[in-house]
Amino acid sequence: MEKNLTSGSVFKNILIFSLPYLLSYLLQTLYGMADLYIIGQFGSVADSSAVSIGSQVMHMLTVMIVGLAMGATVFIGQSIGADDKKNAAKGIGNTVTIFMAVSVVLTVILVALVKPVTIIMSTPTDAVSGTIDYLTICFVGIPFITAYNVISAIFRGMGDSKSPMYFIAIACVANIGLDYLFMGMCQLGSAGAALGTTLSQAISVIVSLVVILKRKTGISLAKADFKPYRPVMNNILKIGIPVALQDGLIQIAFIVITIIANNRGLSDSTAVGIVEKVMSFLFLVPSSMLSTVSALGAQNIGANKPKRAVDTLRYAAFLAAGFGCVVAVVIQFWAEPVVSLFTDATTAEGAEVVRLGGQYLRGYVWDCIFAGVHFCFSGYFCAVGKSGISFLHNIIAIVLMRIPGVYLTSMLFPTTLLPMGLATASGSIISVVICAIAFTMLMKKSKQNRIEVQHG
């Protein structure tokens, strides 16, 4: 349902929009973990490895699709804010056209390259066949994965973050049921996990399409809206492509960090892997703020209310940074107990993992503060059509600090993971500095333009 978020309390709008988005991210995280949990109950170690590796590939792909869809959220949001429903309809139609083409091309290419992708991931020999089965089925299901994320992006652009939450909840429940059917009763192993994932996405898409047909969105779509229209497509892709590339490179950076940890030994590798899972939960709040600022900011920019867009950024940044500060302080006292939830601390190996994981988490958790701030800035830059800035600051942080910093601290401090954790977080400090400079320059340019108009 279309919802205009350009009036009323900015803070209240942020909470109303972000909470369903936060729950959606949480459900999506649980959705991904369900496959690993259930395959662990019914499958072999090789099956678990296959699902784990395959899930990494699909997560990277999904993140990039979501990033590309950000262009649709912003374009539709700006159109809704400007009360231009005709333009919003063109945005929705062209979004569907773009992503239908993208999903078909991706499916063909990735199915053809499934074996090379499996090799690139350094898949253990015993898990190769299972990984190929898992990825092949998931690659065939890319149109459904794409459709879900596109529909969600469209709803969020219209100011509705609740419907996507319901859609992912349906997919989550369906996935768990299908996993027990395919992996438990049918003993299909990693292929069963892929079938459950793909079919549950298909069910979610079908339900969402039924909702769209029955609900009055306030926007009427005509056949002409699906016809490629270059100005609309250019606007969507101009925002979406930098975000997709940025998100993909961030995922690659964390894979590189995992490889660095793997070279330090099994205990270090396990500790870093556990902390990454913990941080993925903690990062749900910053991620929801990014999407919230993008959607609400876009509507306010479209409504020619730039001050409200800036206020949205300011409130969201305070919320994200405040959350980060609380979590960072708490973790300094509870790092080891948190890590011990994921391993058996009563064994010598488990105790070592807990010790190292506590060190890494204590350093890495400070990223919740700085990442929360630069995520909000990135959302604002997307809302004003400057997503290239988001791409730039993330790449600079990755190339100049995050990867070199982690590598150097890994070499210089072989007995502790604390410096590696701090190096991982320090990349976000560079991003915050760049974002603050870019934001200041944009504000000065905007003020100068207003003065020129007044004297023109």
**What Cα–Cα distance (Å) separates residue 375 from each residue in 28, 223, 412?**
19, 37, 30
Same domain, 179 and 248: no
Q: Are 201 and 145 in contact (CB under 8 A)?
A: yes
Q: Are 159 and 5 in contact (CB under 8 A)?
A: yes
Same domain, 212 and 304: no
Is 30 inside any structural domain?
yes
pLDDT tens, position by position, for the chain (456 residues)? 556 667 778 888 888 888 887 887 777 777 666 776 777 778 776 777 777 778 778 878 888 888 888 888 888 888 888 888 888 888 888 988 988 898 999 999 999 999 998 887 767 777 888 889 999 999 999 998 888 888 888 888 777 778 888 888 888 889 889 988 998 888 888 889 889 989 998 998 888 888 777 766 666 777 888 888 888 888 888 888 888 888 788 778 877 887 787 777 767 877 777 787 788 788 888 888 888 898 888 888 888 888 999 999 999 999 999 999 999 999 999 999 988 876 777 888 778 888 998 999 999 999 999 999 999 999 899 888 888 888 888 889 988 888 899 999 989 998 899 999 999 888 899 999 999 999 999 988 877 776 765 665
Is 233 inside any structural domain?
no
- How many domains does the structure of the chain reveal? 2
Is 255 inside any structural domain?
yes
Q: What is the pTM of this model?
A: 0.80
Is 175 inside any structural domain?
yes
Range of the domain at 13: 1-228
Same domain, 289 and 224: no
Of 228, 255, 287, which residue sits at a domain end?
Answer: 228
Of 174, 204, 228, which residue sits at a domain end?
Answer: 228
Is 454 inside any structural domain?
no
Of 205, 228, 251, which residue sits at a domain end?
Answer: 228
Same domain, 246 and 149: no
Same domain, 190 and 143: yes
